[in-house]
Each structure stands twice: as C-alpha cells, then as structure tokens.
C-alpha cells in the first residue's frame, strides 16, 4: 500500500469505522487496518455454524447505540443513503441451556417475568425490581450517552453526508489464529 493517508485507524470495529467515517466526511484521507479477514468487530455478521445461516455475534450491544446521534439523526446517512435498517425481534434474546431448557426475554416486561418465573420465582421478582429501577432512568437523553454531545456542534452534521469513498479498509488475508470475530477496535 503506497498511498499516503492523513489518518490510520487500527481495528475495524464499529468505533474505528465510525471514527474513520466522520474523519472522511471532514475531508481526511483515512485507512482502516484490520488483522482479521473480515471487518466489523461488534457489528459483524458471519456464517459460524452451517452454510447460509448467519450470526450477528454481538447484537445485544446494538440496543445501546440507538439514541446516539450517529443513528438517531442519521448523521453519516447510514440509513438514508446506505440502507442501514435495524430489525427488533420479539423475543430479542433467547438462551438454550445444555439440558435443553430455554429462557426467552421479551419486550413485554410481564411476559419476561412469567418466562423467568417458570425457572425461578425469586429471579423473576428480582428481574421485576430491576426493571422498575431501570424504568426510572428513562428516557435516556443523547448527551448522557455521547460524552461531549453538543447540539450546536452536531448541527453541522445534519446536512447530507458526502460519499464515504475516502475510507479504505484493508483486510489481511489470514485471520489471527484463534480469533472468532472479537472486536478489533
């Protein structure tokens, strides 16, 4: 790679990719270096079990980014221009235990309570108590999630984003031994 870049981002996890994209929008020439044969870190989707069946390895973390201006205001035009779409299934989480038992957590609090109570009434009651406490924290404002978020500063990003063609992603041909999609950045 003989091109010159203003910024080198090491790791193509969502934080590295978002930072690189913002820098590219600001006119910087950016390269993203990744040690794995795939990019995405915590937003990677890969075939891990059988061909054609894809897994989002870190999808639980995506609920925390929804209020971020990156998505809420579509600052990088990931939705409008690049087709990003989130699907919110119900249940969003299911666990299969070794003994064949399952536990699903639903969007409806009482349905989740009933599901947990099948296995443990005490755990279900503790879940309800935690759920009540968490409800007092809502609504979460973006400035609590994005440190330094200043609406006046962010206003300049409300304009349609230019092309992200200034971002180059380099993938090594061979993933690091023992690596299974661990976030790289």
Is pLDDT above 60 for 176? Answer: no
pTM: 0.51
Rounded (5°) CA angle 59-65-66? 100
91 or 153: which leads in pLDDT? 91
What percent of the chain lies above the pLDDT cut of 90?
29
Rounded (5°) CA angle 108-113-117? 150
Q: What is the pLDDT of residues 13-52, one digit of tens each?
A: 888 988 999 999 999 999 999 988 888 887 788 888 889 8
Alpha carbon distance 57, 147 (integer Å): 26
Is pLDDT above 90 for 111? Answer: yes
């Amino acid at each position: 790679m003989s091109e010159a870049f203003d910024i080198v981002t090491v790791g193509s996890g969502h934080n590295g990719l978002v930072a690189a994209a913002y820098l590219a929008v600001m006119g910087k020439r950016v390269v993203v270096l990744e040690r794995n044969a795939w990019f995405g870190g915590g937003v990677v989707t890969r075939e891990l079990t059988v061909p054609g069946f894809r897994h989002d390895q870190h999808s639980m973390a995506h609920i925390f980014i929804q209020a971020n201006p990156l998505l809420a205001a579509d600052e990088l035009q990931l939705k409008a221009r690049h087709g990003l779409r989130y699907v919110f299934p119900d249940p969003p989480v299911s666990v299969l235990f070794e003994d064949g038992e399952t536990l699903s957590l639903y969007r409806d609090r009482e349905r989740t309570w009933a599901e947990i109570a099948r296995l443990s009434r005490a755990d279900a009651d503790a879940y309800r108590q935690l759920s009540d406490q968490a409800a007092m924290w809502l609504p979460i404002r973006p400035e609590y999630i994005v440190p330094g978020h200043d609406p006046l500063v962010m206003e300049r990003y409300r304009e349609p984003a230019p092309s992200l063609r200034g971002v180059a992603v380099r993938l090594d041909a061979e993933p690091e031994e023992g690596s299974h999609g661990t976030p790289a950045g």
